[in-house]
Structures are given as structure tokens and as C-alpha cells.
Amino acid sequence: MNALRFEIEAVCPITGARAGLLHTPHGVVETPVFMPVGTQATVKGMTPHDLLDPELDVRILLANTYHLFLRPGPEPIRRLGGLHRFMSWPRAILTDSGGFQVFSLSGLRKVADDGVVFRSHLDGSLHSFTPESTVDAQLAYGSDIAMVLDECPEYPVSHEYARASMNRTVAWAQAAFRHFRARAAGLETAHALFPIVQGGMYPGLRRECAGRLLDLDAEGYAIGGLSVGEPRPMSFEMVEAAAPLLPANRPRYAMGVGMPEELPEYVARGVDMMDCVLPSRNARNGYLFTSQGRLIIKHARYKDDPSPVDPDCGCYTCRHFSRAYLRHLFQAGEILYSVLATRHNLKRYLDIMRGIRHAILLGEFPEYLEVVRTAPAEAV
């Protein structure tokens, strides 16, 4: 039983960028899409009501297998009706497998062929993840889209290590799919599982990895291991190596990217889905994304500034509050600052994706790219 149906509405004849509709068990997602990150079953600072507001109209969220595994645990979530009911989110959820944590919490782990042993960052307790166990966890969560366990090596790594790591990721993906297909057959609801293309910063390994994952006949494919310290052109090059090999009629997901100006670049290389902590995390750290570039709200220059963060933004924050007020809230450490800033930054990212989608549908994506490539970096 398929969980997803990917309907392509338009393809840019110059770049190959696609606009489509991703039909999930929890609603339709317009692509290309930016997925806000809600690691611990919450987008920090946002209620589901905020995210559902037509102003944001978020269709799909991320949550994290690793973090929810440690707390509160897959079984409690299953008993409480799954992640959707647990967090009161009616729309689609994609769960990351914890593969990223294998790398980002590297001080605490040991990678073996059959999985990874790691220490909880919460209490130091020992746990293991296998391709099978992370599928089980994500089925307990009731994820619409689950991700296979992968290894996400840091940059730079040797070709030798990247190859071994990629081989492991492919083997894990194969094991995950075997287990997933056996388990999913007995379930009432449909779930999708995406494998992840790895291969370090070696185009040859990326191509090989993509080719080997095709046999899995997955409902969508992810490209991982991007923005792990490498220069940006290299990230784009890795996508250029892998994306053309992936099935044209399935969604492609670039994991963990990127800055606002990078989003159209990934789309131009055939990417349909992206997620990133930048809009939410940077919001809380005083970094606001605007149509005129970045704005660091803590700067004293905004102390008496009555203007909105972005005069061209129609978000709740920009409609009602001044830079001076937001700066005040930030300096005072007030919770409302994070709420308003996150709301604005998410709106900015979602607007960018809607703008990209609109341009593709109108056949004007090359012109759109031209404009954003010459955009200013800093707001005044």
C-alpha cells in the first residue's frame, strides 16, 4: 500500500525544477516545500494553531526519532495515539531517523555494521539503534514519512571512509526496507520510508549510492550529508551528482538545508523538499531573515526603530510590532520574543518556497533565480 502520491504539476524546462503536489495520509503538501523542524514534537515557540494559521499554513513538519526515542519513548507515544494525536498536529509528519544524531553527538557513539551504540545525552544510559529498530520507532510514532537510519559523516572525510560509510548506509537502507515492508503489510495506515543518499563530498560515491538505492523502489529519496562543513558550491555539486539519477516521478528531499538564498538553488537542481533549523533557531538567537537580507535584532541601532522587521512581510509580527519592541523583548529575555521571531522567520521561509513554486508554475523560474542571485545580504 502506497502512502504517498506525487503529482507533478510543472517542470521548469531550463533547470528541471519541479512544482508538484505530494498527497500524504495527512493531507496535501505543495512542493517545493520547506518543512519546519519540530525535533521534540514541537516547533519551538509555535503552537500547532500558529502553524495551521493560513498565514503560515504549514503542511508538513519534522520530528526526530532520536530525541523522541529517549524522551518520552516510542511506546508511550504509540499508547497516546501516535505522534499526530500526541502533539495535536493533524497534518503530515516526517521523522528523521536519528542518523544525524549519530554524527552530531559523535562523542557518545560507536558505529558498527549492524547499527550504532550510543549514550543518551540526557542521562548517559546506553542504547542502540539498528535499521530495524528505528523503523519500528517511527511506525510507533505513526510518521507519514519515515527515514532510514544512515551515517552522516562530517566534512572532510577521506574517500576511503566515505566509501565505507556509504556502503554501511546502503546496507542499513536495505535492511530497513526489508523490515519495513514486512511490518507495514500488517498495518492499517500507510507509511512511506525514504532512503538517504550519502557518499561524502565525492560525486562518484554519490552516484553509486543513488544507483544502489534505486533498487529499493522507495516512494521518495533523500540526499543527506549536506551542510556539514563543506563550502556551498560543493553541496550543490553533490545534489547535481545524485538528483538526476533519482526517479523523476518521486519526491527528492535535501536534508537539513539551507540559508534563504540557497533554497532556490536546491530547487533548481531538482529538489522538492527541504528542512532546516535555521529559521527557528536563528530567530531565537536574534537573527531575522527579511526580504532585504538579514537583520540582527539585538543591534543597538534598532533601539528606537518604529518600523517593522520587514516592511514587505505580512506576518503577524511585522503587522503589529516594531523592531524596537522586538529588540526590547530580546534583550529582556522574554518568551514572546521567540514566539514572534520564529513566526516571522518561518513565514519568510515558507514565502520563499511559495514564491519559487509560483514561479515554476508560471514558467518564470529562471527569471526568479536571476533576481534572487543578486539580492542584498543585509537589511537596513
Which amino acid, residue 225? G
What minimum distance in Å lies between the beta carbon of 150 and RNA?
5
Q: Is 236 left (phi over 0), alpha (psi -120 to 50) or beta?
A: alpha
Residue 290 C-alpha cell reads as 527579511
Tell me if 331 contacts RNA by CB under 7 A.
yes
What minimum distance in Å lies between the beta carbon of 363 and RNA?
28
Tell me if 78 contacts RNA by CB under 7 A.
no
- Per the annotation, the verdict on 272 as an active-site residue is no
Interface residue with RNA among 85, 159, 298, 373 (CB under 7 A) is: 298
Tell me if 129 contacts RNA by CB under 7 A.
no
Tell me if 143 contacts RNA by CB under 7 A.
no
- Per the annotation, the verdict on 123 as an active-site residue is no
Q: For residues 197 and 177, what is the distance between their CA atoms, to the nearest angstrom?
A: 15
Interface residue with RNA among 8, 28, 52, 105 (CB under 7 A) is: 105
- Using CA atoms, how far residue 265 sits from 280, 356, 370, in Å, is 21, 10, 11
Tell me if 43 contacts RNA by CB under 7 A.
yes
Q: Pick the catalytic residue from 144, 272, 275, 351.
A: 275
Beta bridge pairs of residue 33: 273
Interface residue with RNA among 257, 295, 360, 369 (CB under 7 A) is: 257
Binding footprint of RNA, residue count (CB under 7 A):
55
Site string for RNA, 271-290 (x = CB under 7 A): ----xxxx-xxx-xxxx---
DSSP code per residue over 321-337: --HHHHHHHHHTT-HHH
Pick from 358, 275, 251, 213: nearest CA to 24: 251
**Phi/psi at 335 (5° precision):** -60, -35
Q: Please answer whether residues 365 and 268 qualify as being in contact, where contact means their C-beta atoms are separated by less than 8 angstroms.
A: yes
Residues 6+ apart with CB under 8 A from 364: none
Tell me if 292 contacts RNA by CB under 7 A.
no
Nearer Cβ to RNA (3/94): 94
Q: For residues 320 and 305, what is the distance between their CA atoms, to the nearest angstrom?
A: 14
Radius of gyration of the chain (CA): 20
**Phi/psi at 220 (5° precision):** -170, 160
Tell me if 251 contacts RNA by CB under 7 A.
no
What minimum distance in Å lies between the beta carbon of 196 and RNA?
5
Stretch that binds RNA, among 14-22, 50-58, 251-259, 317-325 (CB under 7 A): 251-259
Q: 33 by DSSP, 3-state: which?
A: strand
Q: 188 by DSSP, 3-state: which?
A: coil
Tell me if 238 contacts RNA by CB under 7 A.
no
Site string for RNA, 174-213 (x = CB under 7 A): ----------------------x-x---------------
Tell me if 132 contacts RNA by CB under 7 A.
no
Pick from 220, 202, 329: nearest CA to 274: 220
Tell me if 318 contacts RNA by CB under 7 A.
no
* Site for RNA, rule CB under 7 A: 37, 39, 43-44, 62, 64, 67, 96-97, 99-101, 103-105, 107-108, 121, 147, 150, 152, 196, 198, 222, 224-227, 232, 255-259, 262, 275-278, 280-282, 284-287, 296, 298-301, 331, 333, 335, 338
- Active-site residues, by number, are 96, 275
